[in-house]
């Protein structure tokens, strides 16, 4: 199982768009969310993905992910406990082989733009581009599982 170490930030402006090397459409929902553990179903363009994540400790948490047939992913959306999260993800080089994933949320979360960077360790340094805003790592309101049940537009 992989350990994911990531940091999350709000985004100040659209400067990231000029730096993006590709973008994908993502729709995801949560089949289970209990005690910090989640089971997520995601459709990334036309690819189905099932993900299980453990509780977060610091900036890290265990993560298991597997590609599944698109039709299975579509069928699993019927098991989701709350609403779905819909977003466009922009991939932006961060240097050193790292990338920012900048999520521009759609639908009930429209207006929210967040950037995540996955790191090799919790103390790994990285360059903060000018469009990167306030850090929200650890603020559960910005977890996608939270946004699926309590959309940004209702805050």
**pTM for the full predicted model:** 0.93
The stretch 76-83 carries a mean pLDDT of 90
CB neighbours of 100 closer than 8 A, spacing ≥ 6? 16, 91, 92, 93, 94, 115, 116, 117, 129, 132
Q: Which domain holds residue 72?
A: 2-154
pLDDT above 90 for 82: no
- Lowest-confidence pick of 80-84, 105-109, 132-136: 80-84
- In this prediction, residue 36 carries a pLDDT of 83
For tokens 């309101």, what's the residue?
141
**Number of domains observed in the structure of the chain:** 1
Mean pLDDT of 16-21: 98
CATH number, domain at 12?
A: 2.40.320.10
pLDDT of residue 118: 96
**Contacts of residue 143, Cβ cutoff 8 Å, sequence gap at least 6:** none
> Nearest to residue 19, comparing CAs of 76, 80, 86, 102?
102
* Residues carrying an active site annotation: 30
- How high is the pLDDT of residue 86? 97
Structure tokens at 137: 């790592």
């Amino acid at each position: 199982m992989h350990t994911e170490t990531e940091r999350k930030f709000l985004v100040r402006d659209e400067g990231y768009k000029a730096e993006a090397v590709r973008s994908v459409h993502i729709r995801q929902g949560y089949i289970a969310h209990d005690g910090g553990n989640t089971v997520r179903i995601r459709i990334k363009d036309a690819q189905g993905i099932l993900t299980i994540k453990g509780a977060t400790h610091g900036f890290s948490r265990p993560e298991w992910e597997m590609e599944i047939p698109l039709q299975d992913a579509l069928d699993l959306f019927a098991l989701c406990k709350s609403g779905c999260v819909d977003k466009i993800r922009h991939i932006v080089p961060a240097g050193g082989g790292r990338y920012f994933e900048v999520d521009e949320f759609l639908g009930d979360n429209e207006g929210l733009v967040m950037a995540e960077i996955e790191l090799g360790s919790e103390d790994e340094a990285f360059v903060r581009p000018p469009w990167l805003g306030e850090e929200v790592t650890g603020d559960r309101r910005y977890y996608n599982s939270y946004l699926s049940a309590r959309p940004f537009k209702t805050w």
